Structure 1
Amino acid sequence: MEIVRINVGGTVFETKKLTLSQYPQTLLGRLSPQSEFYDNRRQCYFFDRNPDIFGPILGLYRTGTLHFPSFYCGATIKQELEFWEISPKLLAECCLQNYLQYEADLQTTQTLNQAFEEYELDYTDEECRTSNIKRILRKIWLTLEEPSSSRLAKVFNYIFLVVVIASMANFTLESHPLFRKETLSNDSLLYIITYGDIRFFKELNLQNPKEIMFGTTKPVDLLRHSEIVTSIFFTIELIFHFASCPRKGRFFRSPLNIIDLLLVVAMWVTFALEQDLEFLVKNYELVRFFLVLKSLLVLRLFRVFRLMKLYSGLRIMIMSVRASIRDLLLLSMSFLVASLFFASFIYYAEFYVSDTFSDIFIGIWWSVITMTTVGYGDMYPKSTLGYIVGGVCAFSGMLILAMPVAILATNFSDFYHKNKLREMKTSLFDQDGKKEETLSLSRVSPINTNDTPPVTVKCCC
């Protein structure tokens, strides 16, 4: 019986050669006197590793099961398995969670670091060293693109937030009659519709107050002037943003930049058309084009997502949705199948009721509204069998929609917690860096103006 002596960090372990041969593909299973770890003087194998962790490793060869105490970090377990050349598949089920959780946490941390600490587009150090213009453009680019790059960038993004809120307020207020002034009285409108030759007014529906308001009023001067100011701001911002972009070919790969371009064009075209309302209303096709451009202005709400780099919570919410995209696709498929299922059932359950569910498409609308527990009440069953189908549909909707909420909440909580740790770590390192810089300055000996020796400042930190 051959005994093998293994010295791990000063602690000697003894076991049988036969025991180690249980896993010949591992480092311990291949030990021989010719190994680089064999110490001829001590007649043992020496490994400069932690002896406390070697106990569970040796336990694998003795019992056939690899267990680690729960207080060991997943990174430590991974490093030991890699050194001893042991497959993670040999980990016991009760200990596998720590290892897999470490892998998941590592991936989450890497995702956060890439999102918050690495700039997707930036000028290279070589470009900034060789060109003063590139250095200035880089400063402008980071100010507009990365709020965390400087204090000026953060101030600009707060200004951008105020302008976005003002733009959204303008868009909302101009739809209210209180913030519009009359340009044409109702009597004049009725006369033009009756005797005039302007097609736009002839197409107006007098029963629709929104059409009448649009045809006879325009926003008050304060809103119009505010709209001009915000349009000028966004136009200048887009020009500087594009001009300072280090890779202009990739600038419009971002959906937000495309939306900014569409909004700037739409705002100035609609502004130009509104300067001559008489010409506008005489050309009915131009009115349609004007309304399309006006509808595009609702996209200004997407400018809020430009601020997700300023507010980490908003960015984490987007990252959580991306991390849950497969689960959301599964939800969508399940919801679609369930909608078709209950739509078909309610159609045939109400087949002999003449005034409900004329086709399955109406049934799909009803099943979507019922499963989401909105319940408009525009369509509802009237037969006993229809009541049963409706009850099962509502109950199924709660079950289907409840599952992805937990997944989204878990992913958001995970990202949020890891980001808080990342921010605390960054803040701590910044403070330590400033403290170290202060201490290094204090260690510099002052100019000696007399014969006394210089004072040496010692740090006890």
Structure 2
Amino acid sequence: MTTVLLNIGGSIFQTTFETLEKIPGTKLSSLKRDISDKASTASFYFDRNPDVFNSILDLYRTGELHFPSNICGATIRNELEFWEIDKSYLSECCLKAFYKHENDKSILNEIKNLEKYKVLDIPKEECRRGCWRNCIWKTIQYPASSRKASVFNILYLLVVVLSTSVLFINTIPDLRNPKPDHLNETSAVEKEHIYTKTTVAPPVFYVDLFCGIFFTFEFITRIVVTPIKWRKFFCTALNVIDGVVIIAFWALCSLVISGPNFIEDKAFSYIIMILYFARLLQLCRFYRFLNRFKSFDVINLAIRSSICQFGILIAVFILSNLFFGYLIYYAEFEDKNSFNNAFLGVWWAVVTMTTVGYGDVVPTCYLGRVVGMVCALTGILILSMPVAIVTSNFTIYYNKLKEYTNHKHKEERKSESRFSLQKARESGSVFPKPVLTVDTIESHKMQSSGTKS
């Protein structure tokens, strides 16, 4: 029996070839080919981690492969590849640690991909400190870049809230003034003529005009200082929506100010309604504002990772609606006044399962009430599942984003300190400390002895 001494990173492990041949097709099992059969002792050196090798050697001894829980899955994968051991030997209790690093790596890649979309794509010659385009773009797009950027984005949010409030105020009849041609009308203005026979109050109009000018100037500024190509800029969904909202605003202003003769036509009110609806798309500006913060990215990532589960739950929800909608139709078959068709039953099932309960159609007999009770309980169970899924994914992405952000901030601080130190050395304000050598010490001694003599 030949003794095998394995020097793994300075630690000595002793075993035999009979033990290593228990797992054929691996690097350790093929070591016997490198020595003669007459040798009583064989020594081999591998520059690997000795702590991990304990688990590798236990596989040959016991036939089971276990790794400590504090070892990263990437380290386990690298060691298995080096020792040419198939991952099928890994015990089931260690699979979580083995595959955890792959899941973490995919999550970090998604986070980094989000970062790429927010990185300033400014040419290198314009990335110097103090570039006016760089400063304006950071101020508009990145609230955390400086104090003035935070102030501007708070102002932007307040103007968005103000402009949205004006849209809703415009629909209140008591706050609208009748046009000069309709001052003598005593009857209340019909809803379809609210835009043709009345106008907004002057203070409301001036506030709305201020908000429109602010958004127009902000949009033009972003076009001028954008670091990306204009074709890509105008292909972005949020920028397209901004352009549509601004065009709709100025179209409405031109119609209100000019006041053409055909503005009182009833059909023209529908055009006004379409323009106001286009202006309602400015609610997406809240999304653009929230999208600048990393915390909002966690919600996006959690929802994206839950789309598959959402699809399955929506399919189950639809099938349940069809089942209970058809069932309630026959459960209430004797009542001629309720559930005249199965489609009405499907509408009732949707309202019941979502716990809305409009009460426009309700079961009246006992069998229908039993079906309604089961339908409501099924809806509660189905709708509670997406909450747990999104919450779990949100926690995972939030923790990974927090770890990645902290690591990135530390690296940025280190790079900034190195850069400032390098600049200080170049300017001559900081000098490197002299290195003490034997020659410098002897020269200092000779100088000191010369001064004494």
- Alignment TM class, shorter chain as reference: 0.7 to 0.9
Give the residue type in structure 1 aligned to 2:214. F
Rounded to whole Å, the distance in 1 between the matches of 2:84 and 2:205 is 72
Deviation at 1:158, TM superposition (A): 3.0
Give the secondary-structure state (helix, strand or coil) at the position aligned to 1:189: coil
Is the 2:298–2:394 contact (alpha carbons within 8 Å) kept by the matching residues of 1? yes
Rounded to whole Å, the distance in 2 between the matches of 1:293 and 1:18 is 84
Deviates most, 286-295 or 152-161: 152-161
Deviation at 1:283, TM superposition (A): 3.1
Query: 1:154–1:22: structure 2 CA closer, same or farther, 3 Å change rule?
Result: farther
Structure 1 residues not aligned, in runs of 5+: 192-205, 449-453
Rounded to whole Å, the distance in 2 between the matches of 1:219 and 1:161 is 24
Give the residue type in structure 1 aligned to 2:376. A
The residue that corresponds to 1:297 in the other structure is 279
Rounded to whole Å, the distance in 2 between the matches of 1:118 and 1:85 is 40
Is the 2:352–2:372 contact (alpha carbons within 8 Å) kept by the matching residues of 1? yes
Is the 1:443–1:456 contact (alpha carbons within 8 Å) kept by the matching residues of 2? no
Deviation at 1:140, TM superposition (A): 4.7
Give the secondary-structure state (helix, strand or coil) at the position aligned to 2:44: strand
Of 149, 174, 181, which aligns to 2:177?
Answer: 181
The residue that corresponds to 1:58 in the other structure is 57
TM-score, length basis structure 2: 0.83
Deviation at 1:371, TM superposition (A): 0.6
Deviations 1:382-416 (A, max 9, x none): 11111111111111111111111111001111111
Query: 1:376–1:456: structure 2 CA closer, same or farther, 3 Å change rule?
Result: same
Is the 2:28–2:83 contact (alpha carbons within 8 Å) kept by the matching residues of 1? yes
Rounded to whole Å, the distance in 2 between the matches of 1:146 and 1:235 is 19
Of 420, 425, 432, which aligns to 2:402?
Answer: 420
Deviates most, 84-93 or 385-394: 84-93
Within 5 Å, which residues of 2 pair with 1:96-245? 96-116=95-115, 119=118, 122-125=121-124, 128=126, 137=133, 140-148=136-144, 153-177=149-173, 179-183=175-179, 188-189=184-185, 210-211=191-192, 213-214=194-195, 216-243=197-224, 244-245=226-227
Rounded to whole Å, the distance in 2 between the matches of 1:422 and 1:294 is 43
Q: Does 1:68 align with 2:67?
A: yes
Give the secondary-structure state (helix, strand or coil) at the position aligned to 1:15: strand
Rounded to whole Å, the distance in 1 between the matches of 2:173 and 2:81 is 72
The residue that corresponds to 1:13 in the other structure is 13
Query: 1:330–1:184: structure 2 CA closer, same or farther, 3 Å change rule?
Result: farther
Is the 1:369–1:376 contact (alpha carbons within 8 Å) kept by the matching residues of 2? yes
Deviation at 1:181, TM superposition (A): 3.4
Deviation at 1:137, TM superposition (A): 4.9
TM-score, length basis structure 1: 0.81
Is the 2:143–2:150 contact (alpha carbons within 8 Å) kept by the matching residues of 1? yes
Give the residue type in structure 2 aligned to 1:7. N
Query: 1:245–1:289: structure 2 CA closer, same or farther, 3 Å change rule?
Result: farther
Query: 1:256–1:344: structure 2 CA closer, same or farther, 3 Å change rule?
Result: same
Give the residue type in structure 2 aligned to 1:175. T
Give the residue type in structure 1 aligned to 2:223. F
Query: 1:88–1:455: structure 2 CA closer, same or farther, 3 Å change rule?
Result: closer
Within 5 Å, which residues of 2 pair with 1:317-356? 317-356=299-338
Is the 2:196–2:269 contact (alpha carbons within 8 Å) kept by the matching residues of 1? no
Give the secondary-structure state (helix, strand or coil) at the position aligned to 2:185: helix
Structure 2 residues not aligned, in runs of 5+: 436-453
Detail structure 1 runs of 4+ shifted over 6 Å in the superposition: 184-187, 438-448
Rounded to whole Å, the distance in 2 between the matches of 1:248 and 1:86 is 54
Deviates most, 99-108 or 370-379: 99-108
